[in-house]
Structure 1
Amino acid sequence: MSGELPPGDLVVRLAARGDGVTADGRFVPLTAPGDLVAADGSVTPGPHHRVPPCRHFPECGGCQLQQLDDAAFGAYLQDRIAAALGSQGIAAPDIRPVHISPPNSRRRASLRAERRGRQVLLGFNAEASHRIVDMRECHILRPELFALVPPLRALLADLLPQRGQGGVRMTLTDQGVDLLLEKVDADDLRAAEALGAFAQSHGLARLALDDGYGPQTRWEPDPVTVTLGGVAVPLPHGAFLQATQEGEGALVAAVREAIGAAAVIADLFAGLGTFALSLPGRVLAVEGARGAALALKAAANRVQRPVFVDHRDLFRRPLTSEEAGRFEAIVLDPPRAGAKEQVPLLAASAVPRIAYVSCNPATFARDARALIDGGFKLEWVQPVGQFRWSTHVELAASFAR
């Protein structure tokens, strides 16, 4: 059959937003490399095309690539990284096989809710839309999180105003699910009792409300923690946590490999200590969010780990080249915007090794260019697919002088 079709009908790669691209440059959504596209637009699935497991695909914005098998998904993530590096004139280094988190492993999620009479829509937004896809199944969330979706509909039917919209943030912690409800009014006794009964009957670790003035805890029988590097760390509201435990483990392993035998390390944008608490030797953990910095400091002190915490905004006051040069290795895990203010100072420092963790290939490539121009070599990149079936890319990379 393939011999009867022109070469342009073969999908040869995926574009950045997940559309298949044929050999003659056409963009065809919901295809996989190896699919054949007929003149009328019909698609003959190829060897990397799979049947999407979820009834909500492709409407739901939680996943964009359920039509891919793992081989094609991994190749897509690798290509995204190589393309970003190429845009900065950087030849692709050793881009390793992708670590892909398994289905039903996502331990945090942000859902949207809307009340229509006694009906409550609850789920992710539709792709590129504010319309809510009412979630009846999910193949990415941990079962503990998805189990709360049906009872939450009943709770929000009483708490949301008519035609009102709100948000639901769920995180799986050491004690159970940490639940934050946004734009929910629960000032009267009936609503307060309903919240307490819901939290107790579903074994929540914590229940909080945010009416626009910040989270207010309504239920927390025991202090909520997440275990990082074998240490239970207090979890402030809104603190960052890697999306899956499997992805976190892959990133930690890559960072440890990248820093080698370094015994004096700085962990920049340290957060709650995902890396700082898993590193050998003495660690300076620098974090700009006050709640996260205090939580990490308390946890490290409690177990007497040699982790010293500096509450410092690295965008406004980055480490100087002299400060950075005192360390044998630096771990860098900035937000999506990258570390534009910090990287030039690292490039001009004497630090011999850098482990860079990123969730944005474009800003990673920009920062990599600055490090390479400063005398570093990009040794390898480890892609990590925590957001399975998504166009979201994460990675860890090793730089050495």
Structure 2
Amino acid sequence: MNTASEIIRIAAKGDGLSADGRHVAGAVPGDVLQSDGTLKHGPHHVKPVCRHFGKCGGCQLQHVDEETLRDFVTSRVSNAAEGQDIAVGELLPTHLSPPRSRRRATLCAISRGGKPQLGFREAGSHRIVDLTECQILTESLFSVAQALRTILARRKGKLAVDIELTDTDQGVDCSLKNLPIEGLEQTEKILDFAREQGLARLTLDQGYGPETLWEPEPVTVTLSGVPVGFPSGGFLQATVDGEDVLAGDARAWLSGAAVVADLFSGLGTFAFALAGRTKVLAAEAARDTHLACQMAARATGKPVHPIHRDLFRNPLQLEELNKFSAVLLDPPRAGARDQVELLAQSTVAKIVYISCNPSSWARDSKRLIEGGYTLQKLRPVGQFRWSTHVELSSLFVREEDDSAA
């Protein structure tokens, strides 16, 4: 027979873990799972700030207080290191992004009962949660999402529209997929919507690839003071404050490095943060992203040299890596196994590894340490507030080079 058991921590997927090893949905540390299966809330259990919590898949942890949320983000990173027996030189304070700071989002819209439903999907389901509020999106993104309802409500028949929204320098960049626009009247209405909402750009994909319907001026995002052209559907760090923390760590840790390779560089988030006295090679596989970075570097005269290169198929080789005093890498969730294997054999003095997946980061980190690096600094970052998605910044230094920025 089960006895009462206290919840001691939150597991990776957001459920509570009791002292006797049971996983309990909706539980937080300090709660007590009683013998009858009910949950007695403890001091760290709070009332969720959004009415959709528990159904919407956008958040998993609104029922935890700030201290517990910070502890969860921290432990996800530190536990990943411990799982690979990685010694951490200095665990820096965890950064949490505030509410209503998410500047990019992917939403869905369907028709039900003749009315559009628009929002995130339910957790583990294709059903849509019809958002009437959102505590994570910026006000500008949520405002555009709500305004879209008017356009969608005028459409007859079934809807299944994918929506991408991003805050840019000129306003909200809005991309709609699977929304047919037929005839002059529908075209004029969608253009009126873009004009009235002050959209930076409106892109439609009706099954033949994305087409820009509205873009009064070239859309840019400013990265470390550099305006960079923003391709439709391009990648950005989820929040401005999160980007500032990650870029700030990179600048501090690689200060004084003469030549740096920025691998998986994207639009140049870190390349432009480092460029000054430092010369930066920015390697990126996505052509439109690479070209945007290249044009911004040319326009501003920043010492950034972008190259178009798929680092999964063609990682930088030893003779190339050994020309750099430092390397920064920010790979996708899968990590960078092949590139890290070569880095572990290189003479690069410092490596800054930015990651959105503690598990693949820990795997790659172990190989760097086997190659002679030490993990000197590690910072957990929670840009996706109230989510189980965790990011981090880290600094590795070759053992023979004991100086850390």
With normalisation by structure 2, the TM-score equals 0.95
Q: Which amino acid aligns with 1:399?
A: F
Q: Which amino acid aligns with 1:157?
A: A
Q: Secondary structure at the match of 1:343?
A: helix
Q: Work out the CA distance in 1 between the residues paired with 2:378 and 2:208.
A: 41
Q: Work out the CA distance in 2 between the residues paired with 1:214 and 1:48.
A: 48
Selected match of 2:18 from 15, 19, 22: 22
Partner in structure 2 of residue 188 of structure 1:
183
Q: Work out the CA distance in 1 between the residues paired with 2:79 and 2:95.
A: 19
Q: Secondary structure at the match of 2:338?
A: coil
Q: Is the CA contact (8 Å cut-off) linking 1:62 and 1:124 kept in structure 2?
A: yes
Partner in structure 2 of residue 152 of structure 1:
148
Aligned-residue offset at 1:90: 2.1
Q: Deviations over 1:148-185 (max 9, x none)?
A: 222211212334x6222111110000000000001111
Q: Work out the CA distance in 2 between the residues paired with 1:77 and 1:150.
A: 31
Q: Work out the CA distance in 1 between the residues paired with 2:397 and 2:243.
A: 23
Q: Is the CA contact (8 Å cut-off) linking 1:116 and 1:162 kept in structure 2?
A: no
Is residue 2:59 matched to residue 1:41? no
Partner in structure 2 of residue 294 of structure 1:
291
Q: Is the CA contact (8 Å cut-off) linking 1:10 and 1:22 kept in structure 2?
A: yes
Q: Which amino acid aligns with 1:393?
A: V
Is residue 2:169 matched to residue 1:166? no
Partner in structure 2 of residue 325 of structure 1:
322
Q: Work out the CA distance in 1 between the residues paired with 2:364 and 2:207.
A: 35
Partner in structure 1 of residue 232 of structure 2:
237
Q: Which amino acid aligns with 2:243?
A: E
With normalisation by structure 1, the TM-score equals 0.96
Which structure 2 residues correspond to residues 263-302 of structure 1 after superposition, within 5 A? 263-279=258-274, 280=276, 281-302=278-299
Partner in structure 1 of residue 137 of structure 2:
141
Which structure 2 residues correspond to residues 207-226 of structure 1 after superposition, within 5 A? 207-226=202-221
Aligned-residue offset at 1:34: 1.2
Q: Work out the CA distance in 1 between the residues paired with 2:19 and 2:87.
A: 23
Q: Secondary structure at the match of 1:216?
A: strand
Partner in structure 1 of residue 340 of structure 2:
343
Q: Which amino acid aligns with 1:301?
A: R
Is residue 2:362 matched to residue 1:365? yes
Q: Work out the CA distance in 1 between the residues paired with 2:245 and 2:44.
A: 25
Q: Work out the CA distance in 1 between the residues paired with 2:261 and 2:136.
A: 34
Q: Which amino acid aligns with 2:232?
A: H
Q: Deviations over 1:314-362 (max 9, x none)?
A: 1111101111111111110000111111111111111000000000111
Partner in structure 2 of residue 75 of structure 1:
71
Q: Which amino acid aligns with 1:355?
A: V
Is residue 2:390 matched to residue 1:393? yes
Can you give the 5+ residue segments of structure 2 that lack an aligned partner in the other structure? 399-405
Question: Where does structure 1 differ by over 6 angstroms across 4 or more consecutive aligned residues?
Answer: none
**Cα RMSD between the aligned structures?**
1.4
Q: Work out the CA distance in 1 between the residues paired with 2:89 and 2:64.
A: 25
Q: Structure 1 residues 363-372 or 24-33, which shifts more? A: 24-33
Which structure 2 residues correspond to residues 195-206 of structure 1 after superposition, within 5 A? 195-206=190-201
Q: Which amino acid aligns with 1:123?
A: G
Q: Is the CA contact (8 Å cut-off) linking 2:376 and 2:397 kept in structure 1?
A: yes
Q: Is the CA contact (8 Å cut-off) linking 2:88 and 2:375 kept in structure 1?
A: no
Q: Work out the CA distance in 1 between the residues paired with 2:77 and 2:89.
A: 10
Partner in structure 2 of residue 381 of structure 1:
378
Q: Is the CA contact (8 Å cut-off) linking 2:263 and 2:328 kept in structure 1?
A: yes
Q: Work out the CA distance in 1 between the residues paired with 2:26 and 2:253.
A: 36
Q: Is the CA contact (8 Å cut-off) linking 1:258 and 1:354 kept in structure 2?
A: no
Q: Work out the CA distance in 1 between the residues paired with 2:146 and 2:348.
A: 52
